[in-house]
């Protein structure tokens, strides 16, 4: 059975109907800067705040082994270009840098940084250190195995793996030069606490950088994007990874994440300066950047 036929089969099995949007429809405005005392969202579901992290943890336990495969399939490989651009915007100098890669489980950002370091002249370069941090040990296990297979010469640069919550980091104040988080912050229960912790652990002059799915503003492109997200990605997850619900959650979580400008304000409210963002692929993803000054 071809991939398209199998997608159609699973759509019928789960009784999916096309997602319809009107350009004249009024969208609900959600203030993401305020946190409900007891409830939050898990995709389109409303759940208790203390339940969300458990549900998210379960999602990534289930998808860890197939995470990289599904990233390639869902984005048709474009996620690799987004991450390359993200690293270019970081423009790391690579001289004694301490990088915290939060939600970095499988290592995509950290490995790019380590490869970048090895291209720099060795003369007078101080070794850098990367901390890959994730709340899910399964994701870290996948990343560590990938790192071992990569067998990259590091010329004194070091990497470590830490299982920890982005809202309660086990690191001292002013510990890192750079904090990166790619496709992870939307899964956190309290985004404001994640940003506060990022600010706390960064050194003065340190940089915060976030790569995350965002919002397409063009109505026609948005319609195409929504159809692909809801009608193709969950069936694809079922076919390639035998997982429907985790990928249903992932596309729903993107819609619940704050729009670009609103997220920019949240970063500024956490204390960061010179905050800006850049849309990639018409706003499908965005890079947000700020400094602790």
Contact between 67 and 104 (Cβ < 8 Å): no
pTM over 0.85: no
* Domains along the sequence of the chain with CATH: 43-218+258-292 (3.40.50.150)
In this predicted model, what pLDDT tens digit does every residue of 103-128 receive, in sequence order? 998 899 999 999 998 888 877 788 99
Contact between 46 and 120 (Cβ < 8 Å): no
Q: Which residues contact 34 (CB under 8 A, 6 or more apart)?
A: none
The annotation status of 166 as a binding-site residue, yes or no, is: yes
Q: Is the pLDDT of residue 9 over 60?
A: no
Identify the DSSP state of 107: -
In this predicted model, what pLDDT tens digit does every residue of 215-254 receive, in sequence order? 999 999 999 999 998 898 888 878 877 777 777 878 888 8
The annotation status of 72 as a binding-site residue, yes or no, is: no
């Amino acid at each position: 059975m071809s991939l398209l036929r199998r997608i159609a089969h699973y759509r019928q099995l789960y009784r999916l109907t096309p997602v319809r949007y009107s350009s004249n429809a009024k969208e609900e405005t959600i203030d993401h800067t305020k946190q409900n005392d007891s409830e939050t969202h898990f995709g389109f579901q409303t759940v208790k705040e203390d339940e969300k992290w458990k549900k998210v943890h379960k999602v990534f336990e289930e998808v860890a082994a197939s995470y990289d495969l599904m990233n390639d399939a869902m984005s048709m490989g474009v996620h690799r270009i987004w991450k390359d651009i993200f690293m270019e915007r970081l423009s790391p100098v690579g001289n004694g840098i301490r990088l915290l890669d939060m939600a970095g489980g499988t290592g995509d950002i950290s490995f790019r940084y380590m490869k970048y370091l090895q291209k720099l002249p060795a003369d007078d370069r101080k070794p850098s250190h990367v901390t890959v941090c994730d709340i899910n040990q399964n994701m870290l296990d996948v990343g560590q195995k990938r790192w071992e297979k990569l067998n990259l010469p590091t010329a004194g640069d070091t990497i470590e793996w830490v299982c920890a919550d982005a809202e309660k980091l086990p690191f001292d104040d002013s510990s890192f030069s750079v904090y990166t988080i790619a496709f992870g912050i939307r899964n956190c229960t309290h985004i404001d606490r994640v940003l506060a912790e990022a600010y706390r652990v960064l050194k003065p002059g340190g940089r915060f950088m976030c790569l995350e799915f965002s919002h397409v503003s063009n109505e026609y492109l948005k319609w195409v994007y929504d159809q692909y997200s809801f009608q193709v990605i969950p069936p694809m997850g079922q076919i390639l990874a035998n997982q429907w619900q985790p990928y249903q959650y992932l596309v729903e979580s993107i819609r619940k994440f704050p729009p670009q400008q609103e997220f920019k304000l949240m970063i500024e409210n956490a204390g960061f300066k010179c905050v800006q963002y850049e849309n990639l692929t018409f706003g499908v993803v965005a890079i947000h950047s700020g400094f602790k000054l």
